[in-house]
Amino acid sequence: MFAKIVKSALISGSIIAALSASSALAQEKNVLMVLWKSWMPADKAFAQKLKDAGVKVNYSEVNADQDRSKLATAIREVEGDIAAKKFDMIYSYGTVSTQVTKATVKNNTPVVFNIVFDPVGANLVASKEAPGANITGVTNGVPIKMQFDVFTKLKPIKDLLVLFNSREPNSNIIEREVREWAQAAGVNVISRRVTPDTTSLKDVLEEVKSGKIAVDSLYAGADNYLASVAKEVQAAVGDKVRLYGGTQTYTLAGWLAAYVPSNDAMGQAAAEQAIKVLNGADPATLPVVLPKPQLFISDAAAKKHGITPPAEAALES
């Protein structure tokens, strides 16, 4: 008899918990979107996944327009609303946006970040397994060695140019990790810093075109600025060297290959994290997620460089 009562109580408790979670999501949620550059594909996939899941959301927006000082000013304007806990959750895109958001929020509101290459190295979480604060999210941090193991199967790399943005914490981390991989793999590597609002990118592309920098491959990691100039890089040197990128955005711009989670997968994974948080999960104990990476290849670039894409590759036209 006692066992039946306990079983009945457990079932009732499960039903109540499920109903409570359902009730929590039935209410409209106020979500602040901290965007680095308008609504990117991953941001749109995030919102669509929430909609498909039946989550009613009232969105507010802070748009940095790729300007850290503008971001800081804009988020200060909503600092009072954050302190008053007017938002049920905050979504942030990229490392810089998330760093500014975390500093402003001060644990008052749950934060779910997206597209952060190294959340531990950027001092956003204590560990990927247990973030340790009111913040969790989704990383696109496919290990550098794993990326280059895939790239070198397409064609051997002997001389590599790495572009990095010194203003972006993750970009500096990526540059260091690529150097470490190259040293272990016996690959000659040249690093060049490119900075927004300077001639540094134009200068390095001229060096590649002239042969002053002689390489067979070029890599740029998960960095918003570098991704925004991907088409410019492709137009300048895409015929001369093989281009490898750290996000799908690069292959969409005509670069040869990227081994990463898709933009849609990133947004959908962030939405799944958000649903858990909005249902009452504690971000401090909710592990950071890395969606499954896949090989993206530009069909045109592959033909240009005489490479036959593997059967498992997703071709970008």
**Could you list the residue range(s) of the whole structural domain that residue 113 is in?**
2-140+263-286
| CATH number (domain holding residue 269) | 3.40.50.2300
10: pLDDT strictly greater than 70: no
- pLDDT per residue over 47-86, tens digit each? 999 999 999 999 999 999 888 889 999 999 999 999 999 9
Distances (CA, A) of 53 to 35, 139, 198, 248: 22, 22, 44, 25
Distance CA 177, CA 37 (A): 26
CA angle 144, 147, 151 (to 5 degrees): 135
pLDDT value for 54: 96
Q: How many domains does one find in the chain?
A: 2
Which residues are 8's β-sheet partners? none
pLDDT value for 14: 45
72 and 13 within one domain? yes
pLDDT value for 1: 46
46 and 26 within one domain? yes
273 and 136 within one domain? yes
| DSSP character at residue 165 | -
275 and 135 within one domain? yes
- pLDDT per residue over 154-176, tens digit each? 999 999 999 999 888 889 999 99
Q: What is the DSSP string of 171-203?
A: HHHHHHHHHHHHHHHT-EEEEEE--TTSSHHHH
244 and 113 within one domain? no
Percentage of residues in the chain with pLDDT exceeding 70? Answer: 92
pLDDT value for 66: 86
Query: What residues contact residue 20 under an 8 Å CB cut-off, 6+ apart?
Result: none
- pLDDT per residue over 201-222, tens digit each? 999 999 999 999 999 999 999 9
216 and 99 within one domain? no
pLDDT value for 259: 99
Judge whether 32 and 62 are in contact, CB under 8 Å: yes
Percentage of residues in the chain with pLDDT exceeding 90? Answer: 86
Structure tokens at 242: 């093989």
282 and 308 within one domain? no
Q: Of the spans 23-27, 61-65, 220-224, 264-268, which averages the highest pLDDT? A: 264-268
163 and 53 within one domain? no
84 and 230 within one domain? no
SS3 159: strand
134 and 10 within one domain? yes
Confidence of residue 313 (pLDDT cuts 50, 70, 90): very high
Confidence of residue 16 (pLDDT cuts 50, 70, 90): very low
Q: Averaged over 38-44, what is the pLDDT?
A: 94
8 and 117 within one domain? yes
Residue (of 223, 242, 234) closest to 303 by Cα position: 242
187: pLDDT strictly greater than 50: yes
Half-sphere exposure of 175 (CA within 13 A, CB side): 19
Q: What is the DSSP string of 41-91?
A: HHHHHHHHHHHHTT--EEEEEEE-TT-HHHHHHHHHHTHHHHHTT--SEEE
SS3 15: helix
What does the mean pLDDT of the chain come to? 92
Strands 294-298 and 257-260: antiparallel
232 and 116 within one domain? no
Query: What residues contact residue 42 under an 8 Å CB cut-off, 6+ apart?
Result: 93, 114, 115, 263, 264, 266, 267, 270
What interhelical angle do 230-237 and 200-210 show, nearest 10? 20
